[in-house]
């Protein structure tokens, strides 16, 4: 009885020690990230954009301000009534940009999430088992990488039709190969380490080793690439919407706003300038945050 209690207390102590170690590790990463002023600046911008997207319905009503046309006040410049002016249909550009942030972030985050899950799974399987399976999976990924991602996205949207769901699917499929290669390279460096051999020795299944030991230790490069991937997904969304293959009017989206206002650029500069600035600032902030995360997650930079 006493031996069982002792073993239980030891296992509890070991679990607590592991949990404390994980917490201290993430605290150290956050401490290093806070030292990077540019990364914190990017994080601040992203936080503001995310909050604006979350509370978009409280900032401006979707039906009466964002969608409803008011041709009597079309192409008005920035003023106290319309902070960023109005577009070619008299709609408030600021309100449309706020609601457009919700669309861009939704597509970017979900598309990258799908790509990480699919690409990470394929990369883990290829790196862990190796051999012919690795060769088949990675050669398929190479075929996808041989096609420019934007062209692959255009082909998928052309085949399935322009919609929000198809847009996310197209961007995620075009992003899968990069995450598969990143995860595979991490798995190749981890799978022969001692703690993996110990897990095999105690009879852990391959699925448990991959899910509980290999993938958690491969997250650092995936997190960095995912942050940068959201920026790329937002840019791809804007590009596809600009050429009419993304979010369809009258739904607000930064790329479609650029496309709709380009013919008025000479005498209504604000119609395209502010959506373009929104795209540029968002992508810049995500890149700054991604660079900061790369430095914070790199164990060689702890000193």
Each domain of the chain, given as residue ranges in start order, spans 34-61+101-301
- Between these two residues, 195 and 176, which has the higher pLDDT value? 176
| Mean per-residue pLDDT of the chain | 82
Angle at CA of residue 30, ends 25 and 33, nearest 5° = 130
112, 168 Cβ separation under 8 angstroms: no
Q: What is the pTM of this model?
A: 0.80
Of the pLDDT bands very low, low, confident and very high (cuts 50, 70, 90), residue 299 is low
Distance (Å, whole) CA 282 – CA 295: 20
With pLDDT > 90 as the criterion, what percentage of the chain qualifies?
8
Model pLDDT, residue 11? 44
Q: Does domain 34-61+101-301 have CATH number 1.10.3720.10?
A: yes
2, 262 Cβ separation under 8 angstroms: no
Q: What is the mean pLDDT of residues 154-159?
A: 86
Which alpha helices (DSSP H) does the chain contain, by range? 2-35, 37-54, 56-59, 93-129, 131-145, 149-160, 164-190, 194-201, 206-209, 219-242, 254-261, 270-297
Of the pLDDT bands very low, low, confident and very high (cuts 50, 70, 90), residue 44 is very high
Question: Residue 181 CA to chain centroid, in angstroms?
Answer: 17
Q: Which residues contact 115 (CB under 8 A, 6 or more apart)?
A: 171, 172, 173, 175, 176, 178, 179, 229
Q: Which residues contact 54 (CB under 8 A, 6 or more apart)?
A: 102
Model pLDDT, residue 47? 92
Distance (Å, whole) CA 221 – CA 237: 24
- Between these two residues, 214 and 285, which has the higher pLDDT value? 285
292, 29 Cβ separation under 8 angstroms: no
Model confidence pLDDT, tens digit, residues 223-250: 888 888 888 888 888 888 888 887 777 8
Residue 301 pLDDT more than 80?
A: no
């Amino acid at each position: 009885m006493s031996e069982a209690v002792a073993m239980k207390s030891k296992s509890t102590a070991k679990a607590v020690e592991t949990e404390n170690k994980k917490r201290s590790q993430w605290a150290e990463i956050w401490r290093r990230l806070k030292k990077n002023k540019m990364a914190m600046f990017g994080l601040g911008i992203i936080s503001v954009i995310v909050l604006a997207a979350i509370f978009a319905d409280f900032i401006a009503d979707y039906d009466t301000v964002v969608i409803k046309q008011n041709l009597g006040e079309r192409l008005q410049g920035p003023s106290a009534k319309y902070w960023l002016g109005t577009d070619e249909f008299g709609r408030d550009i600021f309100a449309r940009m706020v609601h457009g942030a919700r669309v861009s972030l939704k597509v970017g985050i979900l598309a990258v999430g799908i790509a990480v899950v699919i690409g990470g799974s394929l990369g883990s399987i290829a790196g862990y088992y190796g051999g012919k399976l690795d060769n088949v999976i990675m050669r398929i990924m190479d075929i996808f990488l041989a096609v420019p991602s934007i062209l692959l996205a255009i082909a998928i949207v052309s085949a399935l039709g322009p919609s929000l769901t198809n847009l996310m699917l197209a961007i995620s499929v075009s992003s899968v190969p990069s995450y598969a290669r990143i995860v595979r390279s991490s798995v190749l460096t981890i799978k022969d380490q001692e703690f993996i051999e110990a897990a095999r020795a105690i009879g852990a299944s391959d699925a448990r080793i991959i899910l509980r030991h290999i993938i958690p230790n491969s997250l650092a490069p995936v997190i960095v690439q995912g942050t940068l991937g959201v920026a790329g997904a937002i840019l791809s969304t804007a590009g596809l919407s600009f050429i009419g293959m993304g979010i369809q009017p009258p739904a607000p989206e930064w790329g479609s706003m650029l496309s709709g206002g380009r013919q008025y650029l000479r005498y209504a500069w604000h119609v395209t300038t502010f959506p373009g600035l929104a795209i540029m600032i968002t992508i810049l902030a995500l890149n700054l945050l991604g660079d900061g995360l790369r430095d914070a997650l790199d164990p060689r930079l702890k000193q």
